[in-house]
Structures are given as C-alpha cells and as structure tokens.
A and B are shown apart, each in its own frame.
Chain A
Amino acid sequence: MKTLHTNYKLDSGDITLTVVVGNGQRGNTLVAVGSAVLANGPNISNLRIGKGSDLVGSTLSVISTVSQVNTSTPDAVITYQPRGGAEDRDYQLDDDFADGEVQIQFVATFDLTE
C-alpha cells in the first residue's frame, strides 16, 4: 500500500477533486469526508467535496485500488487534483506492482485547513 498524508489549504469557494489513474491501468477510487462516502467509482472528475468554509478541520480520504491490466509497464501512477482552495495543487503517487502481484492500493489523506 502506498500512502500520502498532507494538508490542503481551503478558500471560501467550492472544493472539487479529480483523480486520474495513469499508465493505462484500471482503478476505482473512493472519496470520503470523515466517514461520509461521496463517491466510489472509476471516474472521479471535478467531484464537489463541499464549500471551503464548511470543510475546515475535516479530513478528506481518497482510497484507490489499481489493477495491472496493462502489462507493458510494472508501474502504477495516480494523480490527485484538488481545486478551489487557496491554490490549485497536483499530488502524485506511484508504485511498482510487486513480482507476482497485479494490484496496489493507494491511500491519500488531506487535512483540510484554513
């Protein structure tokens, strides 16, 4: 399992999140604020997380399971694009499928701050 733990500075507007699973691999991503699941699927594109002012102090959890459908590369890469905060940020996680393994789980945790 590959993890990322960081904070994301909010603004007053709407916060959205896009998650891109790269290298032609198949992945599904769950997005949750606290224990409330907002989405769980293959296409997380401009998903509205909530209003910045309402999210202060919350934790945004993003769990992805990626499978190695493309065997041309042993690499899995995932990009998180939170938008609407103090600044637009791109975060990237990558990992190799271990020998004999065809799946990896990625967990990104964003502490949402003022």
Chain B
Amino acid sequence: MNRLTPATVLMLVAALAGRGLAAQTTQTNLDELRTPASPVFVLLGVAPSAVERPSTPKALAATLLAASGDLQVFPKNYAIEVAPYWLSSHPGLTYEQFHDPGLWQSLKQTLSVSLATSRSSPVLSDSGTAVGLGARTFVSSGYTDRKALNALTAQLDTVQQAQNLALLNHAPTAVRDSLAMRNDRLTRQLQALVQDRLGYIVEAAAGLIAAYPLDAFANGRVSRTGVWLTQTYRLRHPQADVLVVSRFIHDVSAARNLYDLGGRLVYSNRGLSISGEYVGRFGSSQADKTHRATGNLEYRWAEGKYITATFGRNFDEATGRTLIALIGVDLGFGKVPILSLKQ
C-alpha cells in the first residue's frame, strides 16, 4: 500500500481545492448534536457576542440593573449565564465531596441557567423579540484519574504544610515566595486534571424559546423547545470513548419535530485514532427520516501535525449527494483546506 505523505496530501489539496468545499459546511456532525453549554443560544439560533457570567449575587444584580436601565426597560439582545449553586458560599462542601458528588450534589454543582433575548433570531418571522430560557447539568460527572489526583493532592498538601510552617516561623520572604510558586504550579495542574473526566458522564440540557412579534406581550407564543442528552463512557487504558447523543427539537411555528440519535466509538493508540460514527434523524414526516454514517481515521505524527481521513454517507439532501470522502492535513502552520471528493 502506498504511504500517504503530507506532501502527497498537499499536492492533492492544491490540485483539487475548491471542489465541494461549500457542501461540507452544511453537514451536521455528531459534535453539533452534543449537549450544548448554553442550550438557549442554540434554540435561538444566535451566537451572542458577549455573554454575562456573574459569579456572585452582587455581580448578578449589577449586570441585571445595567442591562435593564435600572429595571426601566426590557433588555434587548442580551445574554446571561449563571451557575445558581455557586452564587452562594458552601462552607460544608469539602474537597472530597466536590470530587465525588452523589447524584443530587452533581446536579446542583454543575447546573447552569442561561437566559437570552434577541431581536434578530431566525425564530422571528416579523420584527419583535425572542426570549429564551435554558438549563444544563451533569447527571453523572464521571471521575478524575484517581491515581493522578491523589499524587498531585499529596504534593500540594506537602507544599501547603510547608507554607503554614513558614508563616508560623516567620521564614524569609524568598522561602515563602518559592513555596507559593510551587503551590501555584501544582494548583493549576490540579485545575486542569479535574476538568479531564473519565468513566460515565451524562450531560442533560433543555431550553424553551418564546417569540413576541411586534413586541406585543399578547402575541407571545412558545416558538421552539429542545432537549439534549449526551452520554459518554471514557476509558484511559485502553484509550477509548463511547459517545451516545440524543437531541429532540420541537418547532412550534413549523409544526415540526426533529429527533436525532447518534453514537460514536473512538479508539486511540500511539497517535492513531480510529472512530466510527452514526446519526439517525427522525421527524414528523417521512422526508425527515435520514441517517449519516462515517468512519474516521486520524494520525498524529508530531505535536500539532495531523492527517485525517473520513469516508461515509451523509444525510439525504435534495441534490442526492450523500457521499462523504475527505482527506485533511494539519502541519501546525494553521488551518489547511480540507480536500473533499463528492460524487
């Protein structure tokens, strides 16, 4: 078998650039169906340029007052996301409880609520305002790599204990600064580690949009609702991910339901990543019933240097073009156009 070198791929890209590139942008892949961080923005169909994320009650009050002109006007084109649990202090929540939360604790500590208003949302057929409310939480948060967590925690404990002694004994500033630097480095490593979850992770989200044509309250109606559920099982050894996503969108104005159900299996070993992906789409009519299935291969031969290949079937389109055949390369210089071959 001929080896596909980066140079060969670049030549192919140069020779065939421009063929079918536009069609790729309309594809819906599995990642687009995953539980969104802010479901309300997805349902509204807008990407707000700025999202307020107050983390204290004082900041929340300040941002609401500022957006509403001291409660005189309804905010327009406004987006806010709040984690209600973290608006107050939790003196009894220990490090151990935070890392091993039960179901109720996980729901509380990962809940985020998003609220947005838009005057340019696609759900509006006329001028007016669309208002959305959404929530997202982790039903199961998985776990942190226990061995790495214990090792880093033990190192941090040692440094913190040395800092306590240094303060008690009025140690020289240089000694205290050196310990503080070590604490800083270990804490940031722990922060990164706890973000990297393993095991069974379940993310759920839901949202609702109400449209107010001509800004008349009496005209207000629920326009779109959505529910997401993403289940992941992640293993470290062997390095494998199983992902199951489901999404339900109810579009009231179009009298249409859309249900997506998909899965992905990824196996990674020594820079090589092999994955298979399937998304089935069901709807109110037979025309909505379609599916997408792809196989993906990715090889990283150096830091930041990748070659990727995808082959499969896309959702049915009016053009009848459903073949997906992509080869891409990233040499670490930035984004290189992806080669697309379509029938």
Question: B77 interface residue, CB < 8 Å from A?
Answer: no
Question: A20 interface residue, CB < 8 Å from B?
Answer: yes
Q: Which of B95, B165, B184 contacts A40 (CB 8 A)?
A: B165
Judged by DSSP, the binding face of B is helix
The tally of residues in A whose CB lies under 8 Å from a CB in B reads 38
Which residues of B lie under 8 Å from residue A63 when comparing CB positions? 164, 167-168
Min CB distance A2 to B, Å, is: 13
Binds B, one of A8-16, A49-57, A71-79: A71-79
Question: A86 interface residue, CB < 8 Å from B?
Answer: no
Q: Which of A20, A25, A65, A79 contacts B164 (CB 8 A)?
A: A65
Q: A24-B94, A107-B167 are in contact. Are A72 and B109 (CB under 8 A)?
A: yes
Asked whether B168 lies within 8 Å of A22 as measured between CB atoms, the reply is: no
Asked whether B92 lies within 8 Å of A28 as measured between CB atoms, the reply is: no
Closest to B55 in A: A74
Q: Which of B93, B109, B153, B167 contacts A26 (CB 8 A)?
A: B153
Name the residue among B93, B97, B153, B180 with the largest chain A CB count within 10 angstroms.
B93
Min CB distance A56 to B, Å, is: 22
Question: B157 interface residue, CB < 8 Å from A?
Answer: yes
Asked whether A103 lies within 8 Å of B183 as measured between CB atoms, the reply is: yes
Closest to A90 in B: B91
In the complex, which residues 142-185 of chain B have their Cβ closer than 8 Å to any Cβ of chain A? 153, 156-157, 160-161, 163-165, 167-168, 180, 183-184
Q: A67-B190, A69-B187, A103-B187 are in contact. Are A28 and B164 (CB under 8 A)?
A: yes
In the complex, which residues 79-96 of chain B have their Cβ closer than 8 Å to any Cβ of chain A? 83, 85-86, 89-95
Asked whether A40 lies within 8 Å of B191 as measured between CB atoms, the reply is: no
Which residues of B lie under 8 Å from residue A26 when comparing CB positions? 95, 153, 156-157, 160, 187, 190
Closest to B191 in A: A71
Question: B221 interface residue, CB < 8 Å from A?
Answer: no
Minimum-distance CB pairs A-B, first 3: A24-B98, A30-B164, A28-B160
Interfacial residues, chain B to chain A (CB-CB below 8 A): 55-56, 83, 85-86, 89-95, 97-99, 109, 153, 156-157, 160-161, 163-165, 167-168, 180, 183-184, 186-188, 190-191, 194
- A-B residue pairs in contact (CB < 8 Å), sample of 12: A21-B95, A22-B91, A23-B98, A27-B160, A28-B161, A32-B168, A64-B164, A69-B191, A102-B183, A103-B180, A105-B167, A107-B167
Told that A20-B94, A24-B109, A103-B180 touch, could you supply 8 new A-B pairs with CB distance under 8 A? A22-B90, A26-B157, A26-B190, A42-B95, A65-B160, A69-B190, A72-B109, A102-B187
